[in-house]
Amino acid sequence: MLSRTENELITRTGPGTPMGELWRRFWLPAMSSSELPAPDSPPVRLRLLSEDLIAFRSSDGRVGLVANNCPHRGASLFFGRNEEQGLRCVYHGWKFALDGACVDMPNEPAESNFKSKAHITAYPCREVNGIVWTYMGPAEFEPELPQLGFNMVPQANMYGLKILVESNYLQAMEGDIDSSHSSFLHAALAGPLDASFHERRRAGIAVLRGQAMDFSLDENRAKMQAADPAPRFTTKDTDFGVLIGAARRASEAQDYWRITPWLAPGYSLIPKAPGDIPSQCNARVPRDDETSWFFRIRWHPSRALNAGELADFQQGGVFFPDLIPGIFRPVDNRDNDYHINREEQRTTSVTGIRSIPQQDRAVTESMGPIYDRTKEHLGTADSGIIAVRRRLLRLARQLGEGQEPYPAAHGGIYRILAPALNLPKDVPFDEGAREHIYALQG
């Protein structure tokens, strides 16, 4: 568990907080490009790291991100006119460029130079594969974009969705690095592991998804998780963050490893079995201290996603939840108890909640906006969570002492994958899986 002081330090990310300053040293996914569909389209409100911001796409197609309030008298620029390479406040006509400079001040005399002294907070933005990234830290420390796998492929190779999570970023992110919960929370109901196990598992999950699916590439995981629901965890600090290995017994000579890389400050790669299936990244970004943004991204390193994969991702369901248009809140939410189906919970799945992200949200949001970690009782299965907390706290404290975070300035270290595979029992997991983890750097 954490002390009360540590829990406050790690969960608070507003301006001037130690953890907030750490997050501001990294490029962060901020919004989907589709939120700003065309040049001079209407501006959009965005809350990020407890700051209220306005995003707009200028006449030449570039994205700007500025403070919500006009520096003149504080009117919201959400009501502004997006025109001719700038955003104009409708109160008195002050107009601001992408870099925050005031370029027009029509309510001042023509000979006045007052506009040269007016400036609004503005953050640089970059677009990659349908995601708008922003950097909110000091200009002199602006790093390179992280070379995550989905940033390094053509847009046809990836699909992502932005989702509102109604809890602090940390408790949502901790679910991503907790390999033991998948044996229970996301399980379809089945009896003892016998000859009919996989048939009953397929049928149960197909009911939840409303369609027939091919589970051939997932059978090893299902078998290992059912046979050994208590994985043994090993963690290792790395230059990008923490490598978390969860081992289950596969045979007398081998263990089945699910290897989850956590990459600072908020990315988790979800382990996948060998085969021609997409990889997945969960990106968590604090919206404020009590809510967070979740970018759920699937991509393939060497080919475009096929029609079946896109249909599976886009239709909502097990991988991506259905969202309320315009606000990124899932249709299944805490106000309707995530549409839990008690009959399905009794007969088909552990939760009776249809979508995997919604199952995660149900337990995460049920903890409250910021969970009091002084009340926890952590076990050996929580080793990865403990290691990530320590790393985040250490990075924040080091930054407070003047040491810039290494991963922020070294985008190439993010070029990794998350394998799930069998390894000999006498081989350390990080060594045995090295070529799979670092395949993108070869």
Domains, the chain, ordered by start: 27-141 (2.102.10.10), 149-441 (3.90.380)
State the pLDDT confidence band at 164, using cuts at 50, 70 and 90.
Answer: very high
State the pLDDT confidence band at 354, using cuts at 50, 70 and 90.
Answer: confident
Q: Is residue 348 pLDDT above 80, yes or no?
A: yes
Tens digits of per-residue pLDDT, 72-104?
999 999 999 999 999 999 999 999 999 999 999
Of the ranges 15-19, 93-97, 201-205, 252-256, which one carries the lowest mean pLDDT score? 201-205
Q: What are phi and psi of 402, to 5 degrees?
A: 100, 5
Tens digits of per-residue pLDDT, 375-408?
999 999 999 999 999 999 999 999 999 999 999 9
State the pLDDT confidence band at 207, using cuts at 50, 70 and 90.
Answer: very low
For residue 48, give the nearest of 265, 264, 296, 286 by alpha carbon. Answer: 286
Tens digits of per-residue pLDDT, 208-227?
444 333 333 355 555 655 56
Tens digits of per-residue pLDDT, 88-145?
999 999 999 999 999 999 998 888 888 888 999 999 999 999 999 999 999 999 999 9
Q: Is residue 326 pLDDT above 70, yes or no?
A: yes
Tens digits of per-residue pLDDT, 42-53?
999 999 999 999
What does the mean pLDDT of the chain come to? 91
State the pLDDT confidence band at 274, using cuts at 50, 70 and 90.
Answer: confident
pLDDT at 204: 44
Tens digits of per-residue pLDDT, 241-254?
999 999 999 999 99
In the chain, what percentage of residues exceed pLDDT 90? Answer: 79
State the pLDDT confidence band at 442, using cuts at 50, 70 and 90.
Answer: low
pLDDT at 297: 97
